[in-house]
Amino acid sequence: MKKGLLIALEGPDGSGKSTQIKMLSNYLENKGYKVLVTREPGGTKISENIRNIILDNNNAEMSSVCEALLYAASRAQLIEEVIKPALEDGTIVLCDRFVYSSIVYQGIARGIGVKEVQCINDIALNGVKADLTLMINVEYEKGLERKCSQRKLDRLENCGSDFHKKVYNGYQQLAKELNNIVTIDGNNTLDYVHNKIVNEIESFLK
């Protein structure tokens, strides 16, 4: 029986998810919750290895379907090895990206199709669903600019601005269609965005 909560953070590249997840995790731990932070693709030894294959700039010839299946494979391992046991243990799991990343990046931006990507992932998810998804919204140009200033770009980040524009628009479309996604304006200071996230989490936990 599931007792914990799965909260996913989503958003275009460079939206500041990883920093916000750390701040949120500290906040929840200080309030006495048992918290586990993980990320996609990754979060287990096997999933991190898959991550390296996906994001490697040398794998430029990777087909979109291969990419979608690898993200799903990485997710399947993370769910079985980490997320399910943590939820059964009553933990709040904070996941840096989850299945909506595949819907947006592979389904919409790569053009595989939302239904098709959902279908691939139904097997990987094995019934696990996020209880709440927070989408940190920043313009894709701004996000990529942030990434560029931090480090060398990976294969996905190097997909060009047309691709990232589709990602941005894909997130807007998804947030409009689904009522379990809360959009947070990421164009502000870290503390401001953190407070917005905390307000959403607090009202959700009530």
Residues that bind ligand TYD (CB under 6 A): 13, 18, 39-41, 71, 96-97, 101-102, 105-106, 156-157
13 belongs to an annotated ligand binding site: yes
Closer to ligand TYD at the Cβ: 161 or 199? 161
Closer to ligand TYD at the Cβ: 69 or 182? 69
Q: Are 171 and 9 in contact (CB under 8 A)?
A: no
Say what the alpha-carbon torsion angle 156, 160, 166, 167 is, to the nearest 10 degrees: 30
> Residue 83 CB, nearest distance to ligand TYD (Å)?
13
Closer to ligand TYD at the Cβ: 25 or 33? 25
12 belongs to an annotated ligand binding site: yes
> Residue 32 CB, nearest distance to ligand TYD (Å)?
28
Burial 6-28 (b: 16+ CB within 10 A, else e): bbbbbbbbbbbbeebbebbbebb
74 belongs to an annotated ligand binding site: no
Closer to ligand TYD at the Cβ: 157 or 197? 157
Distance CA 119, CA 132 (A): 21
What does residue 15 show for φ and ψ, rounded to 5 degrees?
A: -85, -10
H or E stretch at 132: strand 132-137
- Whether cis (ω within 30° of 0) applies to the bond prior to 41 is yes
Residue 134 sits at the vertex; the CA angle it makes with 23 and 151, to the nearest 5 degrees, is 60
> Residue 202 CB, nearest distance to ligand TYD (Å)?
25
Q: Which residue is nearest to ligand TYD (CB)?
A: 105
> Residue 73 CB, nearest distance to ligand TYD (Å)?
11
> Residue 53 CB, nearest distance to ligand TYD (Å)?
12
Give the residue numbers of the binding site for ATP: 11-18
Q: Which residues participate in the annotated binding site? A: 11-18
